[in-house]
Amino acid sequence: MTPQENVLPIEGSSVSLVRGDRRIGSILAEEGRLDAADIQRVMQLQHMEGLRFGDAALRLGLINIDDLHGAIAKQYNLPHLLPGKDSFSDELVIAQDPFNPRAEELRGLRTQLLIRWSRAGVKHRVLAIVSPGAGEGRSYVAANLAVAFSQLGERTLLIDADLRNPRQHQIFNISDRVGLSAVLSGRAGRSAIASVPEFGALSLLPAGARPPNPQELLAGLGLGVLLHELRTEFDVILIDTAPARAYADAQAVAFRAGNALVVARKDTTRLADTKTVIRELGDMGAHIVGTVFNSF
């Protein structure tokens, strides 16, 4: 990806803070991966060849690379899932494979957002994730960003406001029987927000049942009131939206959120469509935090 003016590249690195002096060996022992005799063998090889504990355990064949990555993630208090061993979607690369270059790029995006919010003195960090069309990575970016912020310990809420074709409940494998549509129509309250404890301080408000009038629900006062109330409970609120060129839903959501991040996809999104969406959002008063060029 080539950085451009006013574009947020999904590139960069992150810094994780160690919660305590937890040793890799202790973590692996707690998880039943190593016993006392195994640890003794590993320490002997460490001493003989000057290896890190994890590298020595790998060389002895006592653990695999997923075991080591999981232990390192725990050492740094980073919510981590082993690929293919949980019910969450593989799209959650930042949790499934935190050492993947894509995960680093998403952390870079998170860092840039935090810097821009800090420079602008933004206290209520509410952000609509918008893209011109379908299949451009909007839900992918929203889901992974939500996990990324929760990994920092930020109280994070992800709202699925795509009432046309919602996907966040599928990505996180939670029920969407009750969600945003019921809240906005007055048929449900805060109980529709589901905690996702596997990802630290993350909560999800799914879209819920498909309403016959999604645009009217999103354009009404209810969404603004809801966001105003939730700002006191969450540090970061991210909102997934419907394709902006097909429906006016995204514009209504971005107006209530006040800020928008526009996602475009390589070889998929037309430049003219991206420019049109940015102009329309700006005309409605939404601040465009930046654009993300998705190359995968």
Of the residues 12, 42, 75, the one at which a domain ends: 75
Same domain, 70 and 105: no
Residue 205's domain is classified under what CATH number? 3.40.50.300
Q: Give domain status of residue 183, yes or no.
A: yes
Distance in angstroms (rounded) separating the CA atoms of residues 36 and 29? 8
Q: Are 212 and 71 members of one domain?
A: no
Residue 66 buriedness (CB in 10 A; 0-12 / 13-18 / 19+): middle
Same domain, yes or no, for 43 and 172? no
- Considering only CA atoms, which of 140, 135, 138, 27 is closest in space to residue 77? 27
User: Residues 60, 153: one domain?
Assistant: no
**Coil, helix or strand for 288?**
strand
d(C-alpha 108, C-alpha 102), whole Å: 10
pTM for this predicted structure: 0.77
Q: CA-CA distance, 156 to 151, in Å (whole number)?
A: 9
Residue 64 and residue 200 share a domain:
no
Q: What pLDDT does residue 97 have?
A: 79
Q: Is the pLDDT of residue 259 over 50?
A: yes
Mean local confidence (pLDDT), 39-68: 88
- Reported as a pLDDT band with limits 50, 70 and 90, residue 12 is very low
Please check whether residues 151 and 283 belong to one and the same domain: yes
pLDDT bucket at 214, cuts 50 / 70 / 90: very high
Q: In this structure, is residue 154 part of a structural domain?
A: yes
Same domain, 49 and 138: no
Residue 31: pLDDT above 50? yes
Q: Tell whether 1 is covered by a domain.
A: no
> Each residue of 84-100: pLDDT tens digit?
556 788 899 888 877 78
Q: Is the pLDDT of residue 26 over 70?
A: yes
- Structural domain includes residue 19: no
Asked whether residue 189 falls in the same domain as residue 288, the answer is yes
Domain annotation covers residue 251: yes
User: How many structural domains does the chain have?
Assistant: 2
Closest to 157 in 3D by CA, of 243, 78, 227: 227
Residues 131, 57 within the same domain: no
- For the chain, how many residues are written? 296
Q: Is the pLDDT of residue 113 over 50?
A: yes
Together in a domain, 52 and 164 = no
**How much of the chain, in percent, has pLDDT values that exceed 70?**
88
Q: Confidence class of residue 81 from pLDDT cuts 50, 70 and 90? A: low
Which residue range is the domain that position 177 belongs to? 100-294
What SS3 state is found at 262? strand
**Do 154 and 268 belong together in one domain?**
yes
Q: What is the mean pLDDT of residues 157-161?
A: 98
pLDDT of residue 67: 78
Of 59, 75, 91, the domain-final residue = 75
Distance between CA atoms of 216 and 122, rounded to whole angstroms?
A: 29
Say if residue 58 is in the same domain as residue 164: no
